[in-house]
Amino acid sequence: MDDYEEKYHKQKRLTDQLMHALAKVADECGNYTKDHSERVALYSMEIARRLGKSRAEQYEIYQMGLLHDIGKIGVPDTITGKADNLADKEYDMMKRHPMIGAKILQNINELPGLAVGARWHHERYDGQGYPDALAGEDIPEEARIIAIADAYDAMSSQRNYSSVMGQQYVRTEIEKGKGTQFDPVIADVLLEMIDSDVDYVMNSETSLLVIREFFEILD
Ligand SMILES: [Fe+2]
């Protein structure tokens, strides 16, 4: 490897490390469990793989998943970290994080998808989501994937105020959200993943390494 090549690979590794550092910034905000952003990224990548996306597309969705919640940095910790239900005013502030994230990421021309994932990961298939109340296929597909991976991880994670929910319960909730909260086709892919996860590996108590192995992800 010549000097140039070496530098090129070093820059690639640095980019990857910076993305993971930013994902940790997002995870430090509020009550999310450790590694929430990376699990969302991994689940999203696996959904993309099962949908037949190319390796490049799968990796881009992974990166979008890593940074989807970066906008939480702009919402006070007293709100993102609140254990019980938010008052209306607090919820309104919480709902600003997708736009804040999109603003933070908007100048990353090399990967415009990053801003897309941040902005639209709280949209709902029935148009009842935020910030733009987009519906159905008007929501970019990558954002629909991240949205369901995010909801799945929220339910299968240990937070300071709740324990990991049972797999059957989580499965029922995903099933219930088909066509309302979630894209029905993408929901079916996640349901397939849940059904193949006989030991309930996909939850926040499992190390990332084991989750990666479960998906047989090659670096
Ligand atoms: Fe979010």
C-alpha 62 – ligand 1 centre gap (Å): 15
**HSE, side-chain direction, 13 A CA sphere, residue 139:** 31
The predicted pLDDT at position 34 comes to: 87
The pLDDT > 90 percentage for the chain reads: 84
C-alpha 192 – ligand 1 centre gap (Å): 24
Instruction: Report the pLDDT averaged over residues 132-139.
Output: 98
Confirm or reject CATH 3.40.50.300 for domain 15-214, answering yes or no. Answer: no
d(CA 73, CA 104): 10
Instruction: Report the pLDDT averaged over residues 180-184.
Output: 98
Give residues with Cβ within 8 angstroms of 142, minimum separation 6.
44, 48, 60, 61, 64, 113, 116, 117
| pLDDT tens for each residue of 23-80 | 999 999 876 678 999 999 999 999 999 999 999 999 999 999 999 999 999 999 889 8
C-alpha 1 – ligand 1 centre gap (Å): 41
Instruction: Report the pLDDT averaged over residues 136-155.
Output: 97
Check whether 218 has a pLDDT greater than 60: no
Predicted confidence band of residue 217 (pLDDT cuts 50, 70, 90): low
Among candidate residues 24, 34, 53, 72, the one labeled active-site is: 72
| pLDDT tens for each residue of 67-100 | 999 999 999 988 988 867 889 999 999 999 999 9
Check whether 162 has a pLDDT greater than 70: no
> CA–CA distance from 42 to each of 19, 109, 149, 215 (Å)?
14, 23, 9, 9
Q: Which residue has the higher pLDDT, 53 or 4?
A: 53
d(CA 201, CA 57): 25
Across all residues in the chain, what is the average pLDDT? 93
- Domain spans of the chain, in order of start: 15-214
Q: Name the token pair of 53.
A: 């996306």
Instruction: Report the pLDDT averaged over residues 171-185.
Output: 98
Is 53 known to be catalytic? no
Of the listed ranges 74-78, 175-179, 184-188, 189-193, the least confidently predicted one is 74-78
The predicted pLDDT at position 2 comes to: 85
C-alpha 68 – ligand 1 centre gap (Å): 7
Instruction: Report the pLDDT averaged over residues 183-205.
Output: 96
